[in-house]
Every structure is written in structure tokens, then in C-alpha cells.
Amino acid sequence: MTALDETGAGTDLRRDILTTLLPGFAGAEVPSWLLRRLADGLGGVCVFGPNIRSMEQLRAMSTALRTANPLAIVAIDEEGGDVTRLFYDRGAPYPGNAVLGRVDDPELTARVARTVGEALLATGCTVTFAPDIDVNSNPDNPVIGVRSFGADPELVARHADAWTRGLQETGIAASAKHFPGHGDTATDSHLALPVVDVPLETLRERELVPFRAAIAAGTRTIMTSHILLPQLDADNPATLSPRILQGLLRGELGFDGVIVSDALDMRGASGTHGIPEAAVRALAAGCDLLCIGTDNTDAQLDELVAAVGHAIASGRLPAERVRDAARRVRELGATAPPVSELPVLPPSIEPERDGRELARVIAAFEVTDAARARLARSARIGTVVRIDTVANIAVGVAPWGPFAAEALAGDPSWLREAEVVTVSAERELAGPSALAGTVLVVGKDLHRHPFARAAIEALRTVRDDVVTIDLGWPSNDRAFADVATFGASRLLGEAVVEFVAALLAATPATPATPATPAQPATPSPQSVAEVP
């Protein structure tokens, strides 16, 4: 039996190496090899949407994992919006960060975070990789967008504080991400290495403001980003950079919690070196807990342990760095609420639907006067053009927007009565003039996809009854977003269903005027506050 100290740290260095690793696994059953690795000291497991069949099954899974290693981290990407794992089969019942930022009520943000924490507590998870506190300064960002609270650093900081405090009141540990900020990119780090070529002073005035707030709020962990900041470190992305993690995060910002790497299977981290070498470099840079990926295997863990062990033996990686990382991970695991003390799972872990808060969500939409007029003069929606874009890997294939809402709704609505035409990069829009009107175009980040822009332009050229609803982060000029919702969670889908239904039922005050394809003016969010 390996001797243990007060935090469970083994004298066996191999056990400490294992403690720094956080793999995923395939399927909804915990593999026997994973339970064996946990008993040997594996730091924990990251749970993804395909691992979850039900909340009861997730709790049983968490119990098995934490029984095998009582200090194990059971982590999950539950951001409470477009990125959801608890509700991967039906979309999240929360507004998401961008809407919370637009409402700008920190108490509402804290309340949503507490609700997320209570749901995680009921399922035996211990850490969620949230909140996303990137300042989304680039509207073409393909991976952050509505996951961010907004483009203003001070606003993001207010909500970083509220979300972190609200979540951690439940005992679930937060993980502010993606340090030092992934908002000013036009590249997805899952697929390539983004470059943010700005000076440190710009980071201090923009990207680092929310991280200072999250640290002040007591965030237990911070997740790194796989982005290159050449004016800080021209050779290494942040996850692999001692200057950024030890110098900036530990030194200047004073963070003393657990530094978690974003997934090392992302090309921004391992595209050049491979995952085992990326793991060595991430530990050397200052990461304590290494997210490995999704469908990992026992053999992959052997490769990782061997690579780290070889780096220690050759002098490239100090053994004390690994021991320190393992100590931090175990101390984090030791503070998690024990499974045996968790409350009995309720019949549903979803928050009760609050009509007043739904109205606040609708009031946060941006809506043009022309769109309101077109819907108000219509008796029904004839056609819904569904724009299917490829979701980034963080979002995955969870149901989204009104299509998620309608999949669970029992009452018929305008969406059930309309013809739905799907357009994608592989399927172009045919016969735009022959579609039954009024035509509602529904998609996410419409301006970023050439095929989506082409479909909208084709419709606008031949029709005056087209309304576009963008459930992503719209372009600055809003040229392809008559209605911008700033989120595509199921709750946002319910809000869209109610918003459209209310306008269809309204009586226009003035005779309808044919719409033109000119770029619309954008009214303030309060302009739709009268819509229930």
C-alpha cells in the first residue's frame, strides 16, 4: 500500500502523474480500466454529453467514479447556455451568458449559476468548466460568441463575479475560462492555433479584467486557452507558456488555485507536438490538471504517464512541479461535497418556468421595426428556413433554439404549422419565390457563413416578407439579423416561439408597408419589452 499524506498524496511519483490527468471516455458505462486507474490515483474524469442518458444514470456514474477514488474530480462542461452537457439531449433551460450580459442584472446571473450548481450537485459532479469570461471583442469569433457575457470588459467582470459566487455557493467549483482570453480571435482553437497579437497593456485593459474579478470572487480553478500571444510568448500557446501561466496568472494576478488545461486533443495545443508531449509542456508551464479529450483509452493514459515520467527522468520536468500539481488537484477533490450527502434527485432538475424572466429574455432581443411590422401584418408563418451550420466542438449537436423548444412542447404553435425548409452548406435554397409566406429564416451566426448569406440575399431579392432571426452573435452591422437573440439555448427557443406568436397575434397600428432589403436600424433592447 502506498503511503499517503493528509491530502492523499502518494510517495509514488507515478501516482502523482496520474493525479494530474483528467480523461474522458466513450459510452454511458464506466469502463473497468477507468475504475482501476482511479484507484491508482487518477485525478478524475470529464463527463460529456454522450456519456449521459439520464440524471439518475449520471448520479450513479458519479458515485462509481468517486467511490473508486474519493478525491476524484468529476468535471463537466455545463455553461448554462449553448454549451450544455446536462441537457445535451434537449437543450439547456437557461438563458446563456450573452443574454445575461444584455439583461445586466448580476443577481439574475448569480441565481442562474446557483440553479446550475444545484443541478450539478444533485448529479454528483464536483467541477464545471464555467463561467466563460472571455470578452467577445470579435463578432466573427467562431468558438466563443454567445458563450461570452459581452464585449465590454467591465460588464463581463460584473457577471464573472456573480456567476462564480452563485455557483460556488452550492459547493460546485467554478473554472473561469479561457485564460488569458479567447474573445479576440477568428479561429477555433479546436481546429488550429489562433493568434492574438496585442500588447500586455491591451490584455490588462480588456481580457484580464474579468479574470481579476473571478479571482477576487474566489474561483477554485481557471482554464487555459490554446492561443498564441506573440507579444508575450512568441513560441508557445498560453497552455504551454510558463511566462503566461506562472508569470502572468500566478505572479501578476496572484491566482493560487488549480490551473486546468483546455483539452489537449485540440489542435491549438497538440497539433504540432502530439498529446503526450503537449502534456509534458503543459505541466512544465504551470498547468495542474490536464484535460485530455473525450473518448480516451487505457493505452493513451499509458503513453501520457510514460511521456511525463521520461521527461522527469531526463531533467526536462522537475518532479516537484508534478508533485505540486497533484497536491493542488487532491486538495480540490477533498473539498467537494461527498456523494453520500447530496440531496435526493428531484423528478426534474430543471428550474421552474418563470414568465417574468422569460419576458426579460425577450426584452433583451434586438429587433428592427421592419421585422416587427412584417410579423404583425402576418396571420401566420408560411415557411421556416432553418439554416443548419456546423456547430463548433464545444457546443456539439445539442438541440437548439425554437427547434429544441418545439421538440418538447405539447401545444401546437406557428412553427408546427409552418413548412420547414433546411438549408446547409450541402443543401442550397431552391425556389425562394415559391415558398409560402411569411418566411422566417432561423439560424446561428448567419453572417459568418457564405451559404447562409447567399440564401438570405436570394430571399430578400424576390420577396418583401422575409424576417431573419439570428440566435448567435450577429455582425456589428446586423445586416443579416432582423432579430438577434444572442443565444440558442432551449430557453431562448421558447422565448422566440412566444415572441413570434405575440407579434402574429398583434393588430398592426398602420397599414403594412412593403419591406426593402436595405440594412435595418437597430432599436434598443427595451423596444420589445411590451412583448410578453
| Residues labelled as active-site residues | 190, 262
- Cα–Cα nearest to 281, from 232, 340, 326, 236: 236
Range 33-55 burial, b when 16+ CB lie within 10 A, else e? ebbebbebbbbbbbbbbbbbeeb
Q: Rg for the chain (alpha carbons), in Å?
A: 24
CA-to-CA distance for 402 and 245, rounded, in angstroms?
41
> DSSP character for 71?
T
Q: Is 308 helix (H, G, I), strand (E, B) or coil?
A: helix
Using DSSP, how many helices (H) and how many strands (E) does the chain show? 19, 14
Task: Name the residue with cell 433554439.
Answer: 401
The amino acid at 277: E
Alpha-carbon distance 106 to 117, whole Å? 16
* d(C-alpha 231, C-alpha 345), whole Å: 49
DSSP SS3 for 74: strand
Cα 23 to Cα 43: distance, rounded to the nearest angstrom: 9
Please tell me the distance from the alpha carbon of residue 326 to that of residue 489, in angstroms, as a whole number: 36
Integer Cα distance of 449 and 98 in angstroms: 21
Q: 145 with 136: CB under 8 angstroms?
A: yes
Determine the Cα–Cα distance for residues 17 and 490; give it in Å rounded to an integer.
40
- Residue keyed to cell 475560462: 177
